[in-house]
Amino acid sequence: MNINFTEEEIAFREEIRHFLAEEYPADIRRKRDEGIELTPEDTIRWQKTLHKRGWFAVNWPVEHGGTGWTPVQNYIFANEMARANTPILIPFGFKMVGPIIYTFGSEEQKQRFLPDILESNVWWCQGYSEPGAGSDLASLKTKADRGSDGDGDHYVVNGTKTWTTLGQFADWIFCLVRTSSDVARKQEGISFILIDMRTSGVTVKPIITIEGDHEVNEIHFDNVRVPAENLVGEEGRGWTYGKVLLQHERLNVAGVASSQYRLNRLKETAALSVHGGQPLIENHNFARKIATLEIELKGLEYTELRTLASIATSDAPGPESSYLKILGTEIQQSLDALMMEAAGYYALPYVPTQYDLDYPDDDRIGVGAQTKTSLRYFNNRKASIYGGSNEIQKNIIAKHVLGL
């Protein structure tokens, strides 16, 4: 594997840097740098800015509005975005349901849904997990009965989805539902359908997470009538489509570039944080922890590059996405823990007004909102759970890579 960028790739990197210098809105940049919560409108504005430049759904094929970039270009782009600390994009449309629609959906669905996903006009959320079906997703019980209301043109959906991220903002939800219980294996009889959140019988209830945020929800479906044309692909094949989507989701959670950004912030914080009369970065024990993490991150970076190169010659990421997910999230959580250590007591206080744009900086350790550190630490416990828990990823590796 050649790790030196070509001249064209270096020029491409400069083009991205130029774009960021010109087009990354100053107010959003400031919020990001100071750890202030973005509003949904901020994120959408940034997504639309990227789309205008043709750089939003970079993972899509050219014929559907993607870039056709090489894996190396994708890698450079992700790195530059993380280096500039740009907003986290909402993945449910362009990274999740979009690829399922252009791969398995009807022509009519492609025309109806893809343009709005590209232009960030519609907010999607993901309805897979249920109160009794997380790791064992195939046990899902949300039922979609075709014609049970005497109308063969509709499914009637009943059941509950849970942990639905940002579902409170969603216009549409893509769901795995059971369309048949008369099956030999529970993975059969599952279908993939698209539901308009404004349909009568859909209720969204907040779940407040450990750090006090409203990020996830429980969604109830009570006799929700869904037009049969909203079924994606064939009835009963949802498990196959759903698995393809999960592999893409796991690949995206490796987060090498943003961990690199956070590692740099950690070093800056540790240089400013004085413990026992000495900057923490000069403490041998702490410096060793940073060095260990840096080596692990470098290893993950090369693993991701190798995986990207192999995806270029196949249709979808295979079980490699599982070890990227494990390693990536373990590094993210180690970074959270070291940041807590570096921020010391600055990490502890939680004053909501600290998120206001005008809150003075003087009470922070110089490099942005350390006061958000503990919130982030608690929030990011999720990283080893969502997208399929890390224990489940280890089972996948045992089965598909090690053949156990």
Kindly identify the residues of this chain, within the stretch 273-302, that bind ligand FAD according to CB under 6 A. Answer: none
Rounded CA-CA distance 200/270 in Å is 53
Q: Choose between 218 and 235: whose C-beta lies nearer to ligand FAD.
A: 218
Please say whether the beta carbons of 204 and 197 come within 8 A: yes
Closest residue to bound ligand FAD by CB: 134
Looking at beta carbons only, is 263 or 335 nearer to ligand FAD? 335
Q: How far is the CB of 21 from ligand FAD (least distance, A)?
A: 34
Nearer to ligand FAD, 99 or 388 (CB): 388
Query: Rule CB under 6 A: is residue 165 a binding residue for ligand FAD?
Result: yes
Q: Is 128 in the site for ligand FAD (CB under 6 A)?
A: yes
The piece of 61-69, 127-135, 316-324, 369-377 that touches ligand FAD (CB under 6 A) is 127-135
The smaller minimum CB distance to ligand FAD, of residues 76 and 202, is found at: 202
Give the residue from 136, 209, 134 showing the smallest Cα distance to 385.
134
Residue 351, number of CB atoms within 10 A of its CB: 10
* 187 within 8 A of 163, measured Cβ to Cβ: no
> Which secondary-structure segment (H or E) carries 105?
none
Backbone angles phi, psi at 325, to 5 degrees: -65, -45
Q: How many residues bind ligand FAD (CB under 6 A)?
A: 18
Q: Which residue carries 């942005």 as its tokens?
A: 368
**What's the token pair of residue 303?**
């693993």
Nearest-approach distance from CB 11 to ligand FAD, in angstroms:
38
The one among 6, 135, 181, 292 contacting ligand FAD by CB under 6 A:
135
The number of residues making up the chain comes to 404
d(CA 238, CA 256): 31
In this chain, which stretch among 123-131, 229-237, 298-306, 332-340 interacts with ligand FAD, using CB under 6 A?
Answer: 123-131
Stretch that binds ligand FAD, among 120-128, 194-202, 230-238, 317-325 (CB under 6 A): 120-128
Interface positions, 167-226, toward ligand FAD (CB under 6 A): 216
Segment lying near ligand FAD (by CB under 6 A), choices 93-101, 122-130, 306-314, 343-351: 122-130
Helix axis angle, 238-252 relative to 320-343, nearest 10°? 40
| Identity of the residue, 109 or 162, whose beta carbon is nearer to ligand FAD in the bound complex | 162
Q: Does 126 bind ligand FAD (CB under 6 A)?
A: yes
We find the least distance from the C-beta atom of residue 380 to ligand FAD, in angstroms, to be 9
| Residue closer to ligand FAD, measured from CB, 253 or 311 | 253
CA distance linking residue 219 with residue 9, whole number of Å? 45
Per the structure block, which two tokens stand in for 280?
């923490």
Give the C-alpha separation, 192 to 109, whole Å: 13
Among 43, 86, 164, 259, binds ligand FAD (CB under 6 A): 164
Separation CA 365–CA 342 (nearest Å): 10
- Phi, then psi, of 402 in degrees rounded to 5: -90, -15
- Under the binding rule (CB under 6 A), the answer on residue 389 touching ligand FAD is yes
Distance CA 72, CA 168 (A): 36
- Alpha helices of 84-216 — where are they, by DSSP H? 91, 98-104, 107-118
Using rule CB under 6 A, residue 388 touches ligand FAD: yes
Facing residues of 156 across strands? Answer: 145, 225
Please identify, using beta-carbon distances, which residue of 57 and 216 lies nearer to ligand FAD: 216
> Which one of the spans 65-73, 188-196, 329-337, 382-390 is the region binding ligand FAD (CB under 6 A)?
382-390
Residue with smaller CB distance to ligand FAD, 233 or 388: 388
**Residue 134 in contact with ligand FAD, rule: CB under 6 A:** yes
Residue 397: count of CB within 10 angstroms of its CB: 16
Residues within the interface to ligand FAD (CB under 6 A): 126-129, 134-135, 163-165, 216, 382, 385-386, 388-389, 391-392, 395
